[in-house]
A and B are shown apart, each in its own frame.
Chain A
Amino acid sequence: MSTPTQETPLTLKALTHKPVHLTGGHRMCSGCGAPTIVRQVLMAIDEPVVIANATGCLEVSTCLFPYTAWQVPWMHSAFENAAATASGIETMYRSLRKQGKLKKEMKFIAFGGDGGTYDIGFQALSGAMERGHQLLYICYDNGAYMNTGIQRSSATPFGADTTTQPVGSKIQGKTQRRKDLTRIMAAHNVAYAAQASPHNWKDLMTKVRKALATNGPAYMGVVSPCNRGWRSQTNDSILLSRLAVDTCYWPLYEVQDGKWTINYDPKDRKKPITEWLKPQGRFKHLFAPGNEALLARFQELVDQDWESLRKLQEMSKS
């Protein structure tokens, strides 16, 4: 175990004294979930950390030559290969450590959006997780290719309006349900897999620490509101990430050593999915007369996934 002896307590008071590793002045949109998530992640870590970043909003907006917002070693190489690039960095670290050419202990994190993770980067991610690198891959999931203008991804929710599956007279947005990548990562038997949300920073930061403490391959999916793509208010991002959890669209859970744990179960306070959909312009058409069945279908998909997650938790208890 490489857990430091004196971990910074996860209190606001203690965390305000931590150095900022992603500075202000970057070009992310106001209200974007990604930089909030990144800052929470980096604040959770006390050890030196090295970052790999897939091409995407986070990458283009934080390191625009000759400027960078990163105060820790950071590398981007392409869209589909953050996991493979991080594999190379982490393996060089192990090689140099083995040879006595490097002394310091470090942690390795790769960031990708859902495009670079669920879709084009899926193979590289699967390979890296299977090979067992000491690496935490974090997907900030805003549910479409937002960087290039809100094109559909396999993480896009059912029914969402995107620029490549636009709402028209025949088609009402995305016709498929989203891919459940966190479960696919759990099926890789990684050391740690979890879902988190930036509204619950303590849960998110605890998960980052748990993931890194495993010293094995770990995956975290984090819901990341995007006011441009979700057609929502910039000041509603944290509210929307909370509603994603309260409606059970984005349950907070973790999988470790075959044990599935739901970290937050709203029980009888579970909110209808419409509460999450309503503030988002990308779902506006679902509320139009005649589309009641689509709304019902969305609720059904959420309920199915939530129930099966509860079953996984139940089954893994014994």
Chain B
Amino acid sequence: MGATTTKIVAVTGNQAVAEALRQLNPDVMPAYPITPSTGIMESFTKFVSDGKVDTETILVESEHSAMSACIGASAAGGRVATATSAQGLALMWEMLHIASGYRLPILMALVNRALSAPLNIHGDHSDGMGMRDCSWIQLFSENAQEAYDNTIMAYRIAEHKDVRLPIAVNMDGFIISHSIESMTFIPDAEVKKFVGDYIAIDPLLDIDHPKSIGALVLPDYYMEHKRAQHEAMLNAKKVISDVSAEFARLFGRKYDLFESYRLEDAEVVLVALNSAAGTIKDEVDRYREKGVKAGLLKPRVFRPFPYEEVGAALKNAKAVCVMDRADSYGGYGPLFMEIASAVQPHRGPVLFNKVYGLGGRDLMPLDVDQLIDETIEVAKTGKAKMVKEYITVRN
């Protein structure tokens, strides 16, 4: 346990991430407000107005320009951060690919919110899943503490010379972003030491060594660029593990590619991202008390997805219920597709998929109980009635 991380504070998820950004002290922050991530920007710009950071903000006119300015600023040669949600991320989508294609270690706080239509400002993962193929490292966070810790670790991962990719730290809109929780902050000096100075690679502002960034690349070279990105993403897995291990050594909180909760001997397993995991852990405990071998697997790293590790962790389960807070309409839920790919090499468990919580619909303990009951039934029969189904929804 780190000796210096004992001060407990009560803050919202947005405040926790804003505090992490203050400690990280990025050189430039281009951002555009959008519910529910606006609080991060408001808290941070107050730090700027009070002179608590060196950051220059760019209060852009759209999220497209926010990410464009992030790209320009990062390529210029310094640390860059932004925050957004849902429609904001959707408007950035074109530029997300360019940020990663240029291998720029930009940090984004993504406060997960449902995509329109219908218009909805509440939490689900449709925004985060929409950036799945953009070559961004994606970390998910169950609560304010995890969102803070993931943010503190983000630059170390993104800027690693074997990686050099942008990174998004996800947390659930409103459920986490606007709820006050108790958590601990790491002292400023220790964050500063942990993160270290930025080392620019081929910065645009190195005027004596002019670089051209953003060439047209035709079929003769395009694919090599893309494979390099793929390899960087593969490298990210080890870097995330290493950085997380160092973080645990220094500050006491242990993170890995995913969290295994009472998973070792579990026969019935639920898989879920972000805040739902908190509710599920309570219900797993209740079923354990009743003698049911229940467990939870909570992915922390969605890109790069740890297929081998997740497959190994699930191969001895009898039934696995994968919960998606987003849908790929006409396909299975995005998390289900990953879990199915991870389990595929093994003779593994029966899998089924539940879509829950879209547009901020609550997931109650009783809903989780029903899922565990159904998973027990599937484990017994070896068969799922329906592979994919919406729950807590009107007929």
Contact = CB atoms under 8 A, between A and B. Distances in A.
Interface of A: 48, 50, 52-53, 59-60, 63-68, 70-78, 80-81, 83-96, 98-99, 101-102, 104, 106, 123-124, 126-128, 130-131
A53 B74 CA distance: 16
Contacts of A89: 72-73, 75-76, 204-205
A92 B28 contact: yes
B59 interface: yes
A47 B27 CA distance: 24
Contact of B207 (A86, A104, A126): A104
A80 B64 contact: yes
B185 to A, nearest CB: 24
A74 B213 contact: yes
B61 A124 contact: yes
B309 interface: no
Contact of B75 (A75, A80, A81, A102): A75
B78 interface: yes
A96 B205 contact: yes
B213 A93 contact: no
Contacts of B217: 65
Interface string B245-272: 0000000000000000000000000000
Contact of A87 (B60, B214, B215, B218): B60
Interface string B44-62: 0000000000111011111
B207 A94 contact: no
Contact of A63 (B65, B68, B74, B216): B216
B11 interface: no
Contacts of A106: 205, 207
A63 B77 CA distance: 21
B71 interface: yes
A102 B200 CA distance: 12
30 contacts: A59-B214, A60-B216, A71-B210, A72-B210, A75-B212, A75-B214, A76-B213, A76-B214, A76-B215, A77-B71, A77-B102, A77-B214, A78-B95, A81-B68, A85-B71, A85-B72, A87-B65, A88-B30, A88-B70, A89-B73, A89-B76, A91-B56, A92-B73, A92-B76, A93-B205, A95-B54, A96-B78, A124-B65, A127-B65, A130-B61
Contacts of A96: 27, 76-78, 205
Contact of B65 (A71, A93, A123): A123
B334 to A, nearest CB: 26
Contact of A88 (B58, B62, B206, B216): B58
A76 B214 CA distance: 5
Given A75-B213, A76-B214, A124 B72 contact: no
Contacts of A94: 56
Nearest to A67: B215
A75 B68 contact: no
Contacts of A53: 214
A238 B60 CA distance: 38
Nearest to B27: A95
B98 interface: yes
- Overall SS of chain B's interface: mixed
A77 B204 contact: no
Given A73-B207, A91-B28, A99-B27, 17 more contacts: A50-B204, A50-B205, A50-B207, A53-B214, A65-B215, A70-B212, A73-B210, A74-B210, A84-B64, A88-B30, A91-B30, A92-B76, A95-B28, A95-B78, A98-B56, A104-B207, A131-B60
B373 interface: no
A91 B102 CA distance: 19
B70 to A, nearest CB: 6
Contacts of A87: 30, 58, 60, 65, 68-69, 72
Contacts of A98: 54, 56
Contact of B205 (A102, A123, A130): A102
A119 to B, nearest CB: 14
Q: Find the residue from A72, A77, A93, A124 having the highest chain B CB count within 10 A.
A: A77
A128 B216 CA distance: 25
Q: Find the residue from A48, A75, A126 having the highest chain B CB count within 10 A.
A: A75
A55 B27 CA distance: 27
A131 B102 CA distance: 26
B228 to A, nearest CB: 13
Nearest to B59: A131
Contacts of B65: 81, 83-84, 87, 123-124, 127-128
A71 B210 CA distance: 6
B60 A127 contact: yes
B27 A92 contact: yes
Nearest to B70: A88
B329 interface: no
Given A50-B207, A89-B75, A123-B61, A95 B213 contact: no
Given A84-B64, A87-B65, A93-B76, A68 B215 contact: yes
B65 to A, nearest CB: 4
A77 B72 contact: yes
Q: Find the residue from B94, B207, B217, B218 having the highest chain A CB count within 10 A.
A: B207
Nearest to A86: B72
Interface in B333-386: none
B211 interface: yes
Nearest to B99: A77
Nearest to B221: A65
Interface string B130-144: 000000000000000
Contacts of B73: 88-89, 91-92, 95
Sorted from nearest, which 9 A-B pairs have the closest CB atoms?
A88-B72, A127-B61, A76-B214, A88-B69, A92-B76, A84-B68, A88-B73, A84-B65, A81-B68
Nearest to A128: B65
A5 to B, nearest CB: 19
Q: Find the residue from A68, A95, A106, A131 having the highest chain B CB count within 10 A.
A: A95
A83 to B, nearest CB: 8
Nearest to B32: A127
Contact of B76 (A48, A63, A88, A130): A88
A77 B95 contact: yes
B212 A95 contact: no
Nearest to B213: A75
A84 B72 contact: yes
